[in-house]
Amino acid sequence: MNPSNSLVIETHNLSKAYKGVQALKGLNLTVQQHSIFGFLGPNGAGKSTTIKLLLGLARPTGGSAHIFGHDIQRESISIRRRVGYLAQDPRYYEHMSARETLRFTARLFYSGPAPAIEKRVEETLELVGLADKADRPIKGFSGGERQRLGIAQAQVNYPDLLILDEPAASLDPQGRHDVLEVMERLRKHTTIFYSTHILADVQRVSDTVAILDHGTLISQAPIEELLNSNGAPVYTLGLKGETEIARLRLASLPWVTAIQTRPVNNHVSWEVTVSDEVIAEAQLLSLVQSGGEVTVLEFGRRKVDLEDIFLTLTEGDQNGKH
């Protein structure tokens, strides 16, 4: 398969404005086949808008997008035949049971035979762990059960692409765990594109991440690349004593690019950003201690996680010497 064939979602300057307010600004996104693609952004960033545009539930005001090579505006039904979708706040016919909901959904994709549809419904109920609650009316379902039903109805057609809008947002830790577990189980069968603002979930299950803020794509990369490429190494130190003298000594060094200081209880915490990791490893600790005016309580390299990257990118956080 050549690279262009392996693209499941491709958007070109996709834009959407609501009554003059630009909700999405020229989004250029590519989602590779068989990836679990985390679509990150704070509330109101434009994640749900993007998803609705991809599914034909809203119309773009600019740009274009293709899913499986089909145009989202002209060939929406062909796209939806191959897609499963879970909305942020999924709603179903409350009088139906989980089994009836899945049967109804399956009938929107398949015309029969009836035993094959029942078999598919049963498989999907098993997949999300709802087999024992299959015949209960869904109006009595908990948030977690409702979300599992949401994944089941999205998966009942064995889609080539699963689009999940904040699948774990409203769930308690156990519910979140269950949903992520189901997603991990599905990863070998389908491409998953999901939006979230829960960074720990993204780091746990995603292989690629895009970060959206105020309708603009800030970054898109494989998660490992994003974690490894995020800025210069940062060392953390816990200090007691005349820290200002030591700070001035360190700040004069050309390979120290930023020092952030913060009082913590009866000591001071530093975050030292460096441009040369090798020199820092060899000299930083001894340089701090060289004047004898401070006692080092803690020393280590700060592990960068997705939250740091996210906050840096979305808030435009600037570290600087001061």
Partner 1 sequence: MENTNELRTIPERGWRTGFATLFHEANASWWHSKKWLLQSVLWLLFLNGILATILWSVPAEVLAATGAPLGSITTMEAVQQNPTVIALVYFLIFSALALPVAAIIAGQDAIIGERQSGTAAWILSKPVSRPAFILSKLAASTLGMLVTAVVVQGVAAYVQLSLRTGSPWPMAGFWAAMGLLFLNCWFYLTLTYMLGSIFTNRGRVLGISLAMALIGPAFLRSLPVIKDFTPWAFFANISEDVPVGIALALGQPPASVTPIICTALMCLIFTAVAILHFQREEF
Q: Which residues of this protein are in contact with partner 1, per CB under 8 A?
A: 52, 55-59, 77, 80-81, 83, 85, 87, 89-93, 95, 104-105, 107-113, 116-117, 119-120, 123, 127, 158, 189
Contact call for residues 79 and 97 (beta carbons, < 8 A): no
Task: Compute the Cα dihedral for 316, 226, 210, 13 and give only its sign.
Answer: positive
7 in the Ramachandran plot: left (φ > 0), alpha (ψ -120 to 50) or beta?
beta
CA distances from 115 to 43, 128, 149 (A): 43, 20, 21
The residue among 75 and 271 lying less far from partner 1, judged by its C-beta, is: 75
Least distance in Å: CB of 23 to partner 1? Answer: 11
For residue 62 the two structure tokens come to 């600019």
The residue among 97 and 220 lying less far from partner 1, judged by its C-beta, is: 97
Residue 19 phi/psi, 5-degree rounding, is 50, 50
CA distances from 124 to 121, 128, 147 (A): 5, 7, 13
Least distance in Å: CB of 168 to partner 1? Answer: 19
The residue among 46 and 314 lying less far from partner 1, judged by its C-beta, is: 46
Least distance in Å: CB of 58 to partner 1? Answer: 4
The residue among 157 and 312 lying less far from partner 1, judged by its C-beta, is: 157
The residue among 35 and 153 lying less far from partner 1, judged by its C-beta, is: 153
